[in-house]
């Protein structure tokens, strides 16, 4: 007789995996024979640039990469990350003490809560926000306090609305600009205010810079580490997934406060023996090599954004163009909830979008659309939605 073993309390605390549900929904419609346009996920649709792939191929033949990598990663990749920040943002980093290699940003974001929070501690979270921030907080058995991201405040948290008792209690704050899901960007003034708040209340700031390379209309997204004192109070997580179309490679890094870097290295020493050396070599080449492919990628997303938003306005949907990221955050029509509208688009137009309430209570009233198909398919999605006669 096969026995059933109970899951741990930790696993029982975990939230439902929102994106896994979206993937299953799109797959079911395809199995039914429908031509589904899946705009519900954040999975880059274009290939990794060839020069990065070739570096991986060459490095895979080097016997040094057939052995275990150094526990905390090769020093050349940390140096590449430091060189990248100096070139792109004018930020100086000590690669030995202020950079840690991650098995993808998602793993690092979850580990940070386990590194810095004890049961019952408070963490400040954006709402709406990336659902996996909650996963790490649940694993740490900590308590979230949600910061509403409202259109009236350009989808930035209003720190003055956080009760003083919560500010004094909070140990960790998650930010994410360019933002998923709202596609908003942050200013240096906002980050300067964030540093002041963190200094006063001894809060560690975690800025998730996943979409750092993707800004529109000539705007280059601001790095949190460009603000004076940022490294004293926090860190920034940078993934290669979006900038270099390396989502499947699972490589990222975290930069900033040395004590946080030490903690993330410590927990990873117990979880991993660093990532495959050939991936590290390719990541270093991506960060320090010719950046033409990054500029071309940004231009591609810009064209997709412009054509999609124009197509939506043509059908009568009053929407605003995203400022950054590869998402669009679109208000649902009156008389629909986010989930009802997303289900309607799936069932009637065979277009998959992510309902805003999946990102938090203040995501209600919106759907998130990924600019992750060709401009022609995005226009077709808009045309299909227009034929429903809603607008």
The predicted structure's pLDDT at residue 351: 96
The predicted structure's pLDDT at residue 23: 74
Bridge-based pairing of strands 327-331 and 366-370 is antiparallel
The predicted structure's pLDDT at residue 18: 67
**Low-confidence residues in the chain, pLDDT < 70:** 18-19
Phi and psi at residue 203, in whole multiples of 5°?
-110, 135
d(CA 299, CA 214): 9
d(CA 76, CA 285): 10
Q: What is the CATH number of domain 9-48+292-386?
A: 3.90.1150.10
Q: The domain 52-288 is classified under which CATH number: 3.30.70.890, 3.40.640.10, 3.30.540.10, 3.30.70.260? A: 3.40.640.10
User: 217, 281, 285, 287: which is closest to 255 by C-alpha?
Assistant: 287
- Helix, strand, coil: what percent of the chain each, to 5? 50, 15, 35
Provide CATH 3.40.640.10 ranges for the chain: 52-288
* pTM recorded for the entire structure: 0.94
Provide CATH 3.90.1150.10 ranges for the chain: 9-48+292-386
Q: Side-chain half-sphere of 274: how many Cα atoms within 13 Å?
A: 23
The predicted structure's pLDDT at residue 87: 98
d(CA 281, CA 283): 5
Number of H helices, E strands in the chain: 15, 12
Contact assessment for residue 326 and residue 375, using Cβ atoms and an 8 Å cutoff? no
Tokens 């009053």 belong to which residue? 318
């Amino acid at each position: 007789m096969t026995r059933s073993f109970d899951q741990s309390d930790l696993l029982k605390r975990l939230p439902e995996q929102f994106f896994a549900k979206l993937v299953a929904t799109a797959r079911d419609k395809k199995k039914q024979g429908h031509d589904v346009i899946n705009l519900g996920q954040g999975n880059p649709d274009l290939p990794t640039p060839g020069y990065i792939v070739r570096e991986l191929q060459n490095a895979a033949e080097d016997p040094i990469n057939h052995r275990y990598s150094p526990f905390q990663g090769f020093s050349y990749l940390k140096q590449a990350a430091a060189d990248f920040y100096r070139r792109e943002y004018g930020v100086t980093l000590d690669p030995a003490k202020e950079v840690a290699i991650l098995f993808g940003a998602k793993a690092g974001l979850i580990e940070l809560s386990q590194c810095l929070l004890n049961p019952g501690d408070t963490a400040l979270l954006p709402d709406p926000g990336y659902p996996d921030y909650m996963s790490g907080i649940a694993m740490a058995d900590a308590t979230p306090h949600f910061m509403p991201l409202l259109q009236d405040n350009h989808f930035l948290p209003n720190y003055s609305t956080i009760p003083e008792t919560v500010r004094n209690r909070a140990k960790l704050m998650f930010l994410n600009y360019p933002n998923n899901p709202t596609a908003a960007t942050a200013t240096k003034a906002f980050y300067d205010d964030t540093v002041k708040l963190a200094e006063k209340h001894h809060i560690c700031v975690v800025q998730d810079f996943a979409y750092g390379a993707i800004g529109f209309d000539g705007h280059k997204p601001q790095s949190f580490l460009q603000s004076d004192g940022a490294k004293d109070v926090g860190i920034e997580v940078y993934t290669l997934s979006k900038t270099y179309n390396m989502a499947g490679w699972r490589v990222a890094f975290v930069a900033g406060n040395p004590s946080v870097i030490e903690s993330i290295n410590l927990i990873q020493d117990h979880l991993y023996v660093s990532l495959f050396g050939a991936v590290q070599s390719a990541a270093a080449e991506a960060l320090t090599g010719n950046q033409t492919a990054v500029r071309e990628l940004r231009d591609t997303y810009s064209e997709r954004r412009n054509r999609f938003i124009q197509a939506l306005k043509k059908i009568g949907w009053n929407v605003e163009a995203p400022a950054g990221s590869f998402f669009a955050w679109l208000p649902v029509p009156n008389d629909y909830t986010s989930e009802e509208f997303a289900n309607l688009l799936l069932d009637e137009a065979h277009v998959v979008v992510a309902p805003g309430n999946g990102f938090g209570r203040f995501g209600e009233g919106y759907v998130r659309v990924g600019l992750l198909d060709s401009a022609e398919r995005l226009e077709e999605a808009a045309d299909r939605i227009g034929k429903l006669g809603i607008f």
